[in-house]
């Protein structure tokens, strides 16, 4: 546990340091973004000093590490508000979208993967794997606008953008969950096929156990371990994909806040958003290890 904690801390430190360096290397000045190109040089210098941007980069970096260690995320340049308050406002929307996308992915992937394994080589298997290939190949930034065009503009069934009621959640969840469902369906199929080749499955089938009970009660239950591991790994990708999806659908989550902060050169908000995403990724993977150990005692220790 101590080794995992130290490794997670090093990952978060590395991510935070890399983001700090990159956003200071990217062309663009937050002072110019706030005051405009026509501002006087004296006003720029006053604001630069007030934001602490006139100090050497090494001093800014050490101050950033000290504040982060004390859980002080700083003040937003653009919003003139504590960054922690901005994140607290945006996190619920991102969690709602991520949970909806994950639920949709599981509802699609589990039956598709199991049925594809049951009818290996048949039309159902070909169709399910075709969906998997297509879902993994279509990028979110293309699928999202197409769904808006069809279901919002042509059919008028869902809102175009924003977060207003359950209907506005449908298209973002489908956009974000389709790719995850495609990857999970392939893993479910592969895991179930591996389990179906085991001796105890053949014994249960020889004893006359119904095929549905064999598939859903025995094969899927014992195929969960690699699927759980993949879910944990893909949740990090889910958060990364949420940045694009939230931007396409104007969904008021952490992803859209990150894009807004990058455009405004709002350094504290960019750093906090990336740290939050990386911390969530590390915690989800640690939780996945615990769940896998609980589900299969053979992986403990």
Q: Which of 25, 41, 69 is at the close of a domain?
A: 69
The token pair that represents 249 in the structure block:
């659908």
Q: Are 14 and 109 in a shared domain?
A: no
pLDDT bucket at 36, cuts 50 / 70 / 90: low
CATH number of the domain bearing residue 214: 1.10.3720.10
Please spell the DSSP secondary structure of the chain, one letter per residue.
Answer: -HHHHHHHHHHHHHHHHHHHHHHHHSS--HHHHHH-TTS-HHHHHHHHHHHTTTS-HHHHHHHHHHHHHTT---B-TTT-SBHHHHHHHHHHHHHHHHHHHHHHHHHHHHHHHHHHHHTTTSHHHHHHHHHHHHHHHS-HHHHHHHHIIIIIIIS--S-SSS--STHHHHHHHHHHHHHHHHHHHHHHHHHHHHHHTSHHHHHHHHTT--HHHIIIIIIHHHTHHHHHHHHHHHHHHHHHHHHHHHHHTT--SHHHHHHHHHHTT-HHHHHHHHHHHHHHHHHHHHHHHHHHHHH-GGG--
Q: What is the pLDDT of residue 293?
A: 67
How far apart are alpha carbons 19 and 216 in whole angstroms? 45
Instruction: Please state the rounded mean pLDDT for residues 143-167.
Output: 89
pLDDT bucket at 300, cuts 50 / 70 / 90: low
Is residue 78 in a domain? Answer: no
Question: The tokens 């890399």 sit on which residue?
Answer: 18
Q: Are 65 and 202 in a shared domain?
A: no
CA distances, 101 to each of 26, 91, 184 (Å) = 33, 15, 13
Q: Are 91 and 64 in a shared domain?
A: no
- HSE (side-chain half, CA atoms, 13 Å) at 197: 7
Is residue 20 in a domain? Answer: yes
Instruction: Please state the rounded mean pLDDT for residues 154-172.
Output: 88
Query: What percentage of the chain exceeds 70 in pLDDT?
Result: 89
Q: Are 144 and 23 in a shared domain?
A: no
How far apart are alpha carbons 58 and 60 in whole angstroms? 5
Q: Are 112 and 14 in a shared domain?
A: no
How far apart are alpha carbons 274 and 30 in whole angstroms? 18
How far apart are alpha carbons 187 and 114 in whole angstroms? 10
Q: Which of 69, 103, 127 is at the close of a domain?
A: 69
Q: Are 129 and 234 in a shared domain?
A: yes
* Interval 40-89: pLDDT, tens: 777 677 777 777 777 888 888 888 888 888 888 888 888 888 999 999 99
Is residue 76 in a domain? Answer: no
Taking the whole predicted model, whether its pTM rises above 0.95 is answered as no
Is residue 51 in a domain? Answer: yes
The whole domain housing 51 covers: 2-69
Is residue 113 in a domain? Answer: yes
pLDDT bucket at 35, cuts 50 / 70 / 90: low
Higher pLDDT, 224 or 265: 265
Is residue 179 in a domain? Answer: yes
Q: What is the pLDDT of residue 171?
A: 93
Q: Which of 69, 101, 118 is at the close of a domain?
A: 69
Q: Are 99 and 34 in a shared domain?
A: no
Instruction: Please state the rounded mean pLDDT for residues 102-131.
Output: 85
Q: Are 155 and 109 in a shared domain?
A: yes
Q: Are 52 and 96 in a shared domain?
A: no
CA distances, 96 to each of 56, 182, 208, 242, 251 (Å) = 41, 21, 44, 11, 11
Is residue 74 in a domain? Answer: no
User: How many structural domains are present in the chain?
Assistant: 2
Q: pLDDT averaged over the chain?
A: 81
Residue 4 has pLDDT above 60, yes or no: yes
Instruction: Please state the rounded mean pLDDT for residues 86-93.
Output: 92
How far apart are alpha carbons 225 and 144 in whole angstroms? 32
Q: What is the pLDDT of residue 298?
A: 57
Instruction: Please state the rounded mean pLDDT for residues 205-229.
Output: 73
Q: Are 104 and 252 in a shared domain?
A: yes
Q: Are 162 and 294 in a shared domain?
A: yes
Is residue 80 in a domain? Answer: no
Q: Are 183 and 291 in a shared domain?
A: yes
pLDDT bucket at 194, cuts 50 / 70 / 90: confident
* Interval 247-279: pLDDT, tens: 999 999 998 999 888 888 888 898 888 888 888
């Amino acid at each position: 546990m101590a080794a995992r904690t130290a490794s997670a801390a090093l990952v978060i430190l590395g991510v935070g340091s890399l983001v700090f360096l990159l956003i200071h290397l990217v062309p663009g000045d937050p002072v110019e973004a706030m005051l405009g190109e026509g501002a006087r040089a004296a006003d720029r210098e006053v604001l630069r000093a007030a934001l602490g941007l006139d100090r050497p980069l090494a001093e800014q970096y050490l101050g950033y590490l000290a504040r982060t260690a004390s859980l002080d995320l700083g003040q937003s340049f653009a919003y003139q508000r504590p960054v922690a308050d901005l994140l607290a406002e945006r996190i619920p929307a991102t969690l709602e979208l991520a949970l909806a996308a994950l639920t949709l992915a599981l509802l699609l992937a589990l039956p598709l993967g199991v049925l594809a394994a049951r009818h290996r080589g048949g039309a159902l298997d070909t169709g399910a794997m075709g969906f998997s290939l297509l879902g993994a190949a279509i990028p979110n930034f293309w699928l999202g606008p197409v769904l808006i065009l069809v279901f919002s503009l042509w059919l008028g069934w869902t809102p175009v953008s924003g977060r207003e009621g359950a209907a506005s959640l449908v298209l973002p969840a489908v956009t974000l969950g389709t790719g995850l469902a495609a990857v999970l369906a392939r893993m479910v199929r592969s895991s179930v096929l591996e389990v179906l080749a085991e001796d105890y499955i053949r014994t249960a089938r020889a004893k006359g156990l119904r095929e549905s009970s064999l598939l859903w009660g025995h094969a899927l239950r014992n195929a969960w371990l690699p699927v759980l591991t993949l879910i944990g790994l893909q949740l990090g990708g889910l958060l990364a994909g949420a940045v694009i999806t939230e931007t396409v659908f104007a969904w008021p989550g952490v992803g859209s806040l990150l894009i807004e902060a990058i455009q405004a050169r709002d350094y504290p908000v960019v750093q906090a958003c990336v740290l939050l995403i990386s911390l969530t990724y590390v915690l989800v993977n640690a939780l996945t290890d615990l769940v896998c150990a609980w589900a299969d005692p053979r992986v403990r220790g």
